[in-house]
Every structure is written in C-alpha cells, then in structure tokens.
C-alpha cells in the first residue's frame, strides 16, 4: 500500500509541512512559554530589565535576604524580551514573577488590563515608606495612571547636557550653564556647537555633537526632548481631560524640532544615523565629541570606555554636565523616563513582592547602590529627593544638583505620552525621523504623512473618537494624591 491511496503524495506533504513550519516560525515568538512555576513561600521572583540599576541592585540583594529571610530569584532580560515575556505570561494568566520591572510606557497598558495591582492601599498602610520623599514629577511621569500608584521608581531618568571641559577651555568657549536660564536656548546650544565645526582636538577631527539616529525608540527618545522643549504636543488633549487623541504633528513646533534635529545630525559623526542609546554615549566617551545631551544615567556611564565595562574612558574627569537648553518664551519641559517596580496581579505572593519593592526603592538601599564601588560607581538615578542632597553621595556624583533641577522640570506624560498603543506611533515617528536625517525630504510634508498615519493607527485602536472615560491627569492632582497617601 502506498500513502498515495490517501491522496497525499510526498510532494504535497512536504509542501504543507514547509508552509506550516514557516508560519509557525513566524508566529512562534508570540506563543510565550508557560512559566507557572511552583514556588516555595519563602521565595520572591524578580524579573528585571538589564539597565544600569540592575547590577548594583543585584549586589544588594543579600542584604534583603538577610533582613527578611526571603530568598530572591532575580532574572534579567533585554527591553524587548522582558516586555514579550511579561505580556505572554499575563495573557496566559501564569504566575511568572512576584516583582517586575515596568517601563513608564507600559504602565497604562498593564494597569488598564489588570496585569499589575495598584499600590495605593499598600502605601497608605505603610508607616515607614516615607512616600513624600519621592519626587512628584517622577511619580507623576512614571508611576501614576488614572489616579493610581501602580509602581514605585527604581531608577528615574531625566535628560541633561554633557560637555568636554578641556575642549571648551582650549577653544575658550564658556561652559553651558548648570541651571535653566532664558538665555540658554536651543539656538544658543546650536551656535555653541557650530563653533566647534571643522575643528581638531588632540590632533584628531572633532565632532561638535552626537545624536541617536536609530529607529524607532532611540531617535524618538532624543528627538522628543527637543519637541517637548519647543512646546510640541502629540495630541489635541492629553493628559488633561477630556482626552482627545487627534494627532497634532503638523504644528510649527514639530517642524522646528525636526529642523533642529537635522542640524544636530549634520554636526554629528555620519554613522550616528544607526546609533542606539549607548552608541551615542560610548561615542562621547571615546573623546572626539565636544558636547551632547542624553539621559542622565550617561552622566556616569560615560566614565566607562564601553557600556558597563568598568574600564575608565578617555573622558573621565574631563567632562562636565549642564542644564538642557530651552525654547525662548516657552516653559521648559524635560523628558522623564526610567524603570519602576510593580507587583503582577497573577502573583500569589503580592505582600512579599511589595516588601521587595519597598526595600529596593528605599532611601537606604538606593544610597547603598550609589556607594557600591564596582563598575566605577554606577548608580545615581534616584527617585527620592533626599538622596540628591546627601553629601556622601554628592562627593561621588558631583552633578546631582543639575540632575535634580532637570527632574523638577520633568513631564514624561507630555514628552512621550504613555497611551495605549504608543509603540505603533513611535514606530512611525521613529522611521520618519530616521528618513528625514538621511534624505532631503520636506519636514512639513513628512509630518503631515505621519499625522495621517497616526490618525489611522489611533482610529484602528479605537482611540479616535475616545470612548472610554477620561482622567484629568495633572501634576497638581498627582501632588495632592502623594500628599494624601503620605499623611495617611
């Protein structure tokens, strides 16, 4: 008997198998692993991203285990892998971890979907968390959604300027100010950079600055500092109620922002078109860049010759930090970001999870992380105001005053609105910005195209017209909630 009697030839079987195998390989990554692990009651599972804070936090964990008697199972993943792993676990309703690292952009999605629990009750009952010590702008930007505290800040990032003191001295150019002033504008920043164009330093060509050009996230992270500073809004009404997500990317502030970013790229190494976050920082650390702006962790990361290598870079001891430039006549807005810790609703050890979060975000632990000497002292991303005034810490991280000043002007909900479906918008914007850097396209026409694509995506995601209940999300309301929870 031949298998052909069933109407199946080896050819047709192979064809079918090849097709299905291809489809499986395409769709396979979506099928997340079920990780419903049976755990003992004395274990806290922590799933983190491997950002700089991770290394010093990991070093402190024996302290937590000693204090509480709980054993910590710490696991780290890359940004994309962490999000994929978490969402797979949430959809499968499996208990993947008791504490998770949450990016501010995921907050609304996780809380609206009921994947993480609000911490309001825990905080209200906690007498020694010193909740009022957290910087309100940080909590508002990274941890609050619809009036709920969903996470606590583990590592808070603002943006600031880094410049080479020795290069500025050689060319007799005044250093950028350490505080926001009306005179320190983007025009002043650009003119200062232009004064380095075509110069050499130490016998090698000098690049005035460096930008991130890689799409989608890196370029959007850097670009939106400019757009927010210039007063550009993503939507007609957000975060203030009533929410209206009609995109507003055709406004003059967006066009100015694109033109400015293009100018900065022209003053950067050409290969910056492909630079992701740490590429820009590493390039500055190599020593042939005069000045750039970036997330505040780079205030310490550039001390290393590579990302988290611990080897001293060529610019160590030779660079200073300054305030972000602003737009003339527009109130300054600094981009805030960072990582926070939350408790998944699927965890059956939520109390233990909260205990870990409270410990990891406490003043004592964060100070120990800052004083941890390995990797050349690599943690100053505090979400607590008091740590910026700690003299022992300031002796190691002398730029903390500037960093805190940037934090206090921060608003993460304006710079990169953490609305559901944000990543699809970021993909479109990032790709377009990347194209605008390399090509000669007209920014106005390109932004009109982006605006149309945004509208299409937002309508497809049922965000236009917005049918759910809005929430009047303001810093003032956030401060009131913080005050209420601090007193209770």
Partner 1 sequence: MSVQAVLAPRAETPAPRSFVRRYLPYLLIAPSAIMLLSLIAYPLLFALRSSFYFWNLQIAPQPLAFVGFQNYIQALNAFDFRDALVNTLVLSVSGTAIEFVLGLASALLLLRALPGMNVVRALLILPTTIAPIVVGFLFRYLYDPSGGLVIWLLRVFGLPVPPQGLLGSPHTALAAVLFADVWQWTPFFAIVLYASLLSVPDEIIEAARLDRASPLTILIRIKLPLIRRTAIIIAMLRFMQLFNMFDVVLVLTRGGPGTSTRTLGYSLYEQGLINFNIGLVSAMTWITVLIVNIIVAIYIFFAFGNEEW
How many whole angstroms separate alpha carbon 133 and alpha carbon 384? 5
Using CB under 8 A as the binding rule, whether residue 114 contacts partner 1 is answered as: yes
Among 87, 124, 316, 385, binds partner 1 (CB under 8 A): 87
Q: Which is nearer to partner 1, 190 or 276 (CB)?
A: 276
Running DSSP on this structure, what letter comes out for residue 117? Answer: -
Using CB under 8 A as the binding rule, whether residue 197 contacts partner 1 is answered as: no
Q: Which is nearer to partner 1, 5 or 395 (CB)?
A: 5
Closest approach, Cβ 86 to partner 1, in A, equals 11
Using CB under 8 A as the binding rule, whether residue 90 contacts partner 1 is answered as: yes
Among 34, 179, 181, 438, binds partner 1 (CB under 8 A): 438
- Cis amide linkage into residue 397, ω under 30° from 0: no
Residue 187 sits at φ, ψ, to 5 deg, of -65, -45
Among 148, 244, 423, 455, binds partner 1 (CB under 8 A): 423
Q: With contact defined as beta carbons under 8 Å apart, do 156 and 313 qualify?
A: no
How many whole angstroms separate alpha carbon 404 and alpha carbon 381? 10
Stretches 49-57, 166-174, 271-279, 310-318: which one binds partner 1 (CB under 8 A)? 271-279
How far the first Cα of the chain sits from its last, in Å, is 81
Using CB under 8 A as the binding rule, whether residue 445 contacts partner 1 is answered as: no
Using CB under 8 A as the binding rule, whether residue 270 contacts partner 1 is answered as: yes
How many whole angstroms separate alpha carbon 298 and alpha carbon 271? 20
Using CB under 8 A as the binding rule, whether residue 22 contacts partner 1 is answered as: yes
SS3 408: helix
How many whole angstroms separate alpha carbon 62 and alpha carbon 70? 10
Q: Which is nearer to partner 1, 204 or 328 (CB)?
A: 204
Among 67, 75, 113, 181, binds partner 1 (CB under 8 A): 113
Q: Which is nearer to partner 1, 87 or 124 (CB)?
A: 87
How many CB atoms sit inside 10 A of residue 80's CB?
Answer: 10
Nearest-5° angle of CA 479, CA 471, CA 407? Answer: 35
Distances (CA, A) of 128 to 107, 131, 381: 25, 8, 22
Q: β-strands 43-49, 71-77: how paired?
A: parallel
Distances (CA, A) of 60 to 32, 237, 391: 31, 43, 21
Among 94, 345, 427, 455, binds partner 1 (CB under 8 A): 427
Closest approach, Cβ 191 to partner 1, in A, equals 24
Among 460, 465, 480, 483, binds partner 1 (CB under 8 A): 460
How many whole angstroms separate alpha carbon 106 and alpha carbon 5? 55
Among 34, 435, 483, 488, binds partner 1 (CB under 8 A): 435
Q: Which is nearer to partner 1, 186 or 207 (CB)?
A: 207
Using CB under 8 A as the binding rule, whether residue 421 contacts partner 1 is answered as: yes
Using CB under 8 A as the binding rule, whether residue 308 contacts partner 1 is answered as: no
Using CB under 8 A as the binding rule, whether residue 159 contacts partner 1 is answered as: no
- Helix (DSSP H) and strand (DSSP E) numbers for the chain: 20, 14
CA-atom Rg of the chain in angstroms? 24
Among 439, 440, 469, 487, binds partner 1 (CB under 8 A): 439
Q: Which is nearer to partner 1, 282 or 333 (CB)?
A: 282
How many whole angstroms separate alpha carbon 266 and alpha carbon 72? 48
How many whole angstroms separate alpha carbon 479 and alpha carbon 331? 20
Closest approach, Cβ 177 to partner 1, in A, equals 32
Q: Which is nearer to partner 1, 3 or 37 (CB)?
A: 3
How many CB atoms sit inside 10 A of residue 472's CB?
Answer: 13
Using CB under 8 A as the binding rule, whether residue 216 contacts partner 1 is answered as: yes
Q: With contact defined as beta carbons under 8 Å apart, do 406 and 333 qualify?
A: no
Closest approach, Cβ 201 to partner 1, in A, equals 16
Q: Which is nearer to partner 1, 56 or 434 (CB)?
A: 434
Chain residues binding partner 1 by CB under 8 A are: 1, 3, 9-11, 14-15, 17-31, 80, 83-84, 87, 90-91, 109, 113-115, 213-216, 269-274, 276, 420-424, 427-428, 431, 434-435, 437-439, 449, 453, 460-462
């Amino acid at each position: 008997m031949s298998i052909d009697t069933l109407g199946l030839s080896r050819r047709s079987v192979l064809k079918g198998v090849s097709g299905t195998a291809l489809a499986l390989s395409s769709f396979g990554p979506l099928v997340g692993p079920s990780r419903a692990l049976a755990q003992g009651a004395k274990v806290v599972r922590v799933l983190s991203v491997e950002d700089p804070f991770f290394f010093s936090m990991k070093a402190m964990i024996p302290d937590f285990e000693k204090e509480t008697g709980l054993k910590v199972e710490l696991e780290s993943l890359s940004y994309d892998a962490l999000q994929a792993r978490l969402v797979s676990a949430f959809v499968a309703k499996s208990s993947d971890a008791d504490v998770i690292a949450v990016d501010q952009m995921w907050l609304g999605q996780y809380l609206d979907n009921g994947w993480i629990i609000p911490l309001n009750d825990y905080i209200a009952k906690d007498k020694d968390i010193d909740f009022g010590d957290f910087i309100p702008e940080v909590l508002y930007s990274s941890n609050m959604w619809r009036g709920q505290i969903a996470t606590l800040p583990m590592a808070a990032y603002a943006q600031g300027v880094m410049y080479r003191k020795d290069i500025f001295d050689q060319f007799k150019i005044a250093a950028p100010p350490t505080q926001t002033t009306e005179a320190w504008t983007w025009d002043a920043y650009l003119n200062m950079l232009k004064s380095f164009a075509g110069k050499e330093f130490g016998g090698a060509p000098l690049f005035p600055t460096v930008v991130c050009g890689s799409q989608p996230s890196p370029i959007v992270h850097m670009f939106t500092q400019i757009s927010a500073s210039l007063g550009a809004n993503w939507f007609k009404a957000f975060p203030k109620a009533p929410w209206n997500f009609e995109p507003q990317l055709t406004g003059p502030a967006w066009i100015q922002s694109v033109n400015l970013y293009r100018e900065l790229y022209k003053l950067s190494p050409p290969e910056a078109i492909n630079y992701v976050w740490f590429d820009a920082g590493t390039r500055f650390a190599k020593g042939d860049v005069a000045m750039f702006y970036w997330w505040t962790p780079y205030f310490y990361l550039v001390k290393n010759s590579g990302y988290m290598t611990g080897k001293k870079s060529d610019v160590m001891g030779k660079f200073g930090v300054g305030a972000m430039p602003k737009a003339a006549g527009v109130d300054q807005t600094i981009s805030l970001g960072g990582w926070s810790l939350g408790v998944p609703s699927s965890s059956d050890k939520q109390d233990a999870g909260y205990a870990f979060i409270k410990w990891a975000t406490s003043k004592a632990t964060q100070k120990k992380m800052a004083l941890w000497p390995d990797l050349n002292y690599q943690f100053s991303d505090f979400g607590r105001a008091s740590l910026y005034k700690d003299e022992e810490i300031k002796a190691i991280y002398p730029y903390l005053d500037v960093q805190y000043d940037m934090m206090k002007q921060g608003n993460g909900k304006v710079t990169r609105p953490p609305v559901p479906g944000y990543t699809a918008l970021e993909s479109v914007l990032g790709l377009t910005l990347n194209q605008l850097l390399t090509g000669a396209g007209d920014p106005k026409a390109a932004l009109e195209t982006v605006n149309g694509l945004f509208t299409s995506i937002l309508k497809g995601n049922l965000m236009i017209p917005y049918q759910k209940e809005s929430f009047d999300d303001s810093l003032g309301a956030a401060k009131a909630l913080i005050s209420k929870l601090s007193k209770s």
